[in-house]
Structure 1
Amino acid sequence: MPAAPGKIRIIGGHLRNSRIDVPDRPGLRPTPQRVRETLFNWLAAHVGGARVLDLFAGTGALGLEALSRGAREAVFCERDAGLVAALRANLLRLKQDGRSRVINDDALGALDAQDPSFDLVFLDPPFAAGLWSAAAELLERRSLLATTGLVYVEAPSGAAPALPSNWVLHRETRAGDVHAALYRRDAGLA
């Protein structure tokens, strides 16, 4: 069932079919439903009890999906004040504000103030910004990932962001112009 204009829906967990408002913002492209479904099938055994970081959150769809499926906590980083307001309103309406924190800041700057360790990180910057490598390097340098943390990277098809050598490709898929990949952090390769 396609979402109404300006809305997407959570596809699994206790918030299944809840709608998320999507403000009209240039460059905002929520992760497609088909990709989210594939991703959370991959993550089924890992989300429950996880501490999640939704970097470059946008609508917060990935972090909200993780909360819906049992994540212990989600931290959302977004610099656009309008998107932050919409995300906070969605979290409050869906009664997820007690298990989440929204940081209105540049994602790379926000990483400097985070406490380790995240079990799962969603790394999906605006495609035009090209911030995958800088964010990945900062996640590693600041030791923000759990020893066996998982990182989801969404990039344009054909792009090959430089990622830390200890991030081992676990799964990947393509949907239209989007390349979605899940990496497993291997502390032994660091």
Structure 2
Amino acid sequence: MLRVIAGKYKSRKLKDVKSNLTRPTTDKNKETIYNSVGQFFEGGACLDLFAGSGSLGIEALSRGMTHCDFVDKQYSAIKVIKENIKVLNLDEETMVYQKDALSFLNSTSQTYDLILVDPPYKLDAYQDILDVISSRHLLNKHGIIVMESDHLREVDPKNDLIKIKEKKLGQSKISIFERT
């Protein structure tokens, strides 16, 4: 069962996507992510790519982000994200896009303070995603990208991105990048 770990919506239960195409982020990994980037935020815009149920973006809103865009190409995921948003009354703080992640990144002009990237491990788009975010300046100065990947995956930041932290958790790896 998914739940919000901390903040305004702490302990609220979230629906998850019933599909083998979606892998929910475990509570342990979610804790690691938010312990690494800061427990709470004082506003800011968040992007949850490959959002699944939306639990990572909802966690960011619960911890103080003021807006979150959720992107997933799966209809079942979009449906669950919208249900979770409705239950928590987050309609004013969110936008939901049913779109491929790279297509979204190449078409948006919005910039973000926090970008959460949790694609299917077998998808080989990690480097492309970082490159598009960097080249299109979608991350605000001192903004953070959190990328969850297979523990064997290596991704090298370019241009104005630097890797500031990396942690392996079983078969997963959390990599954190910052825009300088």
Q: TM-score range by the shorter chain?
A: over 0.9
- Find the counterpart in structure 2 of residue 166 from structure 1: 160
Match of 1:27 among 21, 27, 43: 21
- Find the counterpart in structure 2 of residue 44 from structure 1: 38
Provide the rounded CA distance (Å) in 1 between the counterparts of 2:13 and 2:87.
10
TM-score under structure 1 normalisation? 0.89
Match of 2:53 among 55, 59, 75: 59
Structure 1 alignment gaps of length 5 or more: 1-6
Count of residue correspondences: 180
Larger displacement relative to structure 2 (86-95 or 161-170)? 161-170
Secondary structure in 2 matching 1:34: helix
Secondary structure in 2 matching 1:146: strand
- Find the counterpart in structure 1 of residue 151 from structure 2: 157
Deviation at 1:165? Answer: 4.5
- Find the counterpart in structure 2 of residue 119 from structure 1: 113
Q: In the alignment, is residue 135 of structure 1 matched against residue 129 of structure 2? A: yes
- Structure 1 stretches of 4+ with a deviation exceeding 3 A read none
**Between the two proteins, what is the percent identity of the paired residues?**
26
Larger displacement relative to structure 2 (157-166 or 119-128)? 157-166
Superposed CA RMSD: 1.4
Deviation at 1:157? Answer: 0.6
Deviation at 1:113? Answer: 2.6
Deviation at 1:46? Answer: 6.4
Structure 2 alignment gaps of length 5 or more: none
- Find the counterpart in structure 2 of residue 178 from structure 1: 172
Secondary structure in 2 matching 1:152: strand
Q: In the alignment, is residue 72 of structure 1 matched against residue 66 of structure 2? A: yes
TM-score under structure 2 normalisation? 0.94
Secondary structure in 2 matching 1:11: coil
The answer to whether the 8 A contact 1:124-1:132 is kept is no
The answer to whether the 8 A contact 2:4-2:58 is kept is yes
